[in-house]
Structure 1
Amino acid sequence: MLPRGLEIGVEQDGGWPLYEVARSAGSTERRIVYLHGGTWINQISPLQWQLVLKLAADTGSRVLVPIYPLAPQGTAGTVVPQVVDLLRRLAATYGAGNVSVLGDSAGGQIALSAALLLRDLQAVLAHTVLICPALDLSLSNPAIDALEPNDKWLVRPGLRAAADLWRDGLRLDEPIVSPLFGNMDGLGPLTVFVGTRDITHPDCELLVSKAQAAGVHTIFHQAPGMVHLYPLLPIPEGRAARRTMAEILGSDP
C-alpha cells in the first residue's frame, strides 16, 4: 500500500514503463533516477520499492524508476544508452544539478556506466549513488577469492552466466559493461555503499581509489561484516544507510 502523502504514476518512455513516485503536496525540480538490481535477469523487488518510497518521502525529490527489459532481451548495449537518454532529457529540462542517479548491484553498473556516458555529453549529475555495485563483470579481482566462500548471496559462476547474457558479445573491459574501466575525470559527486563480506567490495575499493585520484568528490561507506545489498535490508545498519542516502540525495551537489 502506498504510504500517506505519496503519489505514484506511470507512463511509457521509449517502450519501457517509467514509474514516478513523489510527495502529493509541493513541487520540486529535483529528480532521482533509480536503477534496480537483480543480476540483470530479475525484476524489481519489494525491498527495492521500499527504498524508492523512502527516498521520495525523505528527500522531497521525484523518484523515477525505469523498468528496463531484462537479459537476454535487454542488454548493456541497448539499456544503458536509453538510460543515458532519460538522464539527458531530465538534465536538459531541470538542470543537471537537479538530477541524480542511484543503482544497486546490477543497477549500480547501469547507473555508473550511464553517468560516465552522460559526462561525455557534458552533463554532470548532482549525485551518483551506488549500492554494492557490479563494477568489473569479469570478477577477476584476486581479492574476491577470500571473500567468496563467506558471501551467502553472490557466487561468481552464476554472476558470470548472467553477465554474459547482459553484455551480449561486448568486451568485458568496455565501460558500458564494466564501468570500473572507465575514465573517472569530470564525474560528479560519487557515493558508494558496500559491506565488507560482499564480493563486490574489492572492486568498490578500486573504484573509490580511482575516482579520488581523478579528483572526484567521493564518499565511501564500508559496513564491517555486512552482506550484499545490506542498505535494503530491515536491519539497523540498513536503516542507517538509507537515512544517510536520503541526506545525500536531498542535498545540493
Structure 2
Amino acid sequence: MQVETSRTGLVVRPPDPAGMAVLYLHGDPSFSGEPEQALEAAERLSLRTSATVVCARYRPVFPSALVDVQTAYHYGQAMGGPVAVAGEGAGAGLAAALLIRLRDAGSTLPSCTTLVSPLLDLSLQAPSLLFNASANPEFDLTELRTRVTRYTADRDLTDPFVSPLHGNLHGLSPVQLLTAGTDPLLDDALAFAARAAHSSVSVDLRVHPDAATLRTETIPAMAAFIRTHTHADHIARPA
C-alpha cells in the first residue's frame, strides 16, 4: 500500500491496482476539509476494491468546497479508468452535490456513488436529528448548526448544491445509501433514497440496526457496490 500527497489531497495506491479510482470524501462534522482522518478507511477500501483512492482536501466554505471536490474528481478521471465516489456525513452531502453539478454541466458521471450517514439537508429540520441524538454521544446538534452557518454563510439552504436533498435527482448514476436506525441523519438518507428512486435512479438503501453495525459493514458494503458498478474484473482481497 502506497500513500502519496497530491494537489487534491491524499492518494492511496493498492499493491495490485485494478485500473479504477474512488474519490473518497471524509465526514468531518466540522467541515474542516482535511483528509488525514479518512486514511484508514481509504486504505481498507483500496485493498477490497484494488482501486486507487483519492481522499480529497477541500476548503471549509461553500462553494469552494464543491469546487475542490470536483477538481479531485477530475484528477481521478485523469487516471484513465472508471471513477466511483464515496462520502460520509458532510462529505456525503458534497458527493451528492457533486453528482448534481456534474449532471447539470453535461460531464461524465461517476460509475456509482455511496453515501454513508449522509448530511443532505443543511436546513437541519429532520426529526431524526432530535430523536436519535441521544444514541450518538459525539453528535451535537447545536455545534452542527454553528458549523453549517459558517459553511453556508448567507446561502439559500434549499440550494441543491448546498442541500442536495432539495435538488432534481433525475439522470444520476446508481446510488448506495448506508445508515442506521439510530443515526441522527437517518431521515436525510431515507428521504434522498425515496426521491432518487422516484426519479428512476438505481438505489441501494441499507439501514443497519445501530451505529456499531453500520461501522462494521460500511467498507464491505461499499466495496461490493463499487465492484459491481465499475465492472472490475479483478477479485480484490478482503481487508
Same fold (TM over 0.5): yes
**Distance in 1 between the 2:2 and 2:197 partners?**
38
- Asked whether 1:140 is paired with 2:125, we answer yes
Map Cα deviations across residues 191-236 of structure 1 (whole Å, 9 max, x no partner): 0111111110012110000000000000011011x13xx5xxxxx6
**Distance in 1 between the 2:33 and 2:83 partners?**
26
- Asked whether 1:176 is paired with 2:161, we answer yes
Within 5 A, what are the aligned runs for 1:183-198?
Answer: 183-198=168-183
Q: By how many angstroms is 1:45 displaced?
A: 5.6
Map Cα deviations across residues 143-184 of structure 1 (whole Å, 9 max, x no partner): 543323444232321111000111122111111111111111
Greater relative CO, 1 or 2 (CA 8 Å, sep 6+): 2
- Asked whether 1:80 is paired with 2:69, we answer no
Map Cα deviations across residues 48-72 of structure 1 (whole Å, 9 max, x no partner): 3221011111101100112223xxx
Which residue among 39, 64, 86 is the counterpart of 1:102? 86
Q: By how many angstroms is 1:86 displaced?
A: 3.0
TM-score (norm 2): 0.87
Instruction: Please tell me whether the aligned partners of residues 84 and 115 of structure 1 are also in contact (alpha carbons under 8 angstroms).
Output: no
Report the counterpart of residue 6 of structure 2 in structure 1. 11
Q: By how many angstroms is 1:239 displaced?
A: 2.8
**Distance in 2 between the 1:42 and 1:126 partners?**
24
**Distance in 2 between the 1:206 and 1:91 partners?**
30
Instruction: Please tell me whether the aligned partners of residues 88 and 118 of structure 2 are also in contact (alpha carbons under 8 angstroms).
Output: yes
Q: 1:93 to 1:59 in 2, by over 3 A?
A: closer
SS of the aligned residue for 1:175 comes to: coil
Q: By how many angstroms is 1:84 displaced?
A: 1.7
- Asked whether 1:210 is paired with 2:205, we answer no
Q: Residue type matched to 1:105 in 2?
A: G
SS of the aligned residue for 2:48 comes to: helix
**Distance in 1 between the 2:75 and 2:54 partners?**
13
Which residue among 49, 52, 63 is the counterpart of 2:42? 52
Identity of matched residues, %: 22
SS of the aligned residue for 1:249 comes to: helix
Report the counterpart of residue 113 of structure 1 in structure 2. 97
Structure 2 unaligned residues grouped into runs of 5+: 231-239
**Distance in 2 between the 1:67 and 1:81 partners?**
11
Q: Residue type matched to 1:34 in 2?
A: Y
Task: Give the aligned length.
Answer: 228
Q: By how many angstroms is 1:119 displaced?
A: 1.5
Structure 1 unaligned residues grouped into runs of 5+: 1-5, 231-235
Instruction: Please tell me whether the aligned partners of residues 179 and 214 of structure 2 are also in contact (alpha carbons under 8 angstroms).
Output: no
Q: 1:58 to 1:76 in 2, by over 3 A?
A: same
**Distance in 1 between the 2:75 and 2:43 partners?**
23
**Distance in 2 between the 1:28 and 1:175 partners?**
34
Which residue among 204, 225, 231 is the counterpart of 1:248? 225
Instruction: Please tell me whether the aligned partners of residues 25 and 92 of structure 2 are also in contact (alpha carbons under 8 angstroms).
Output: yes
Q: Residue type matched to 1:20 in 2?
A: V
**Distance in 1 between the 2:101 and 2:195 partners?**
17
Q: 1:139 to 1:24 in 2, by over 3 A?
A: same
**Distance in 1 between the 2:44 and 2:169 partners?**
29
SS of the aligned residue for 1:29 comes to: coil
TM-score (norm 1): 0.82
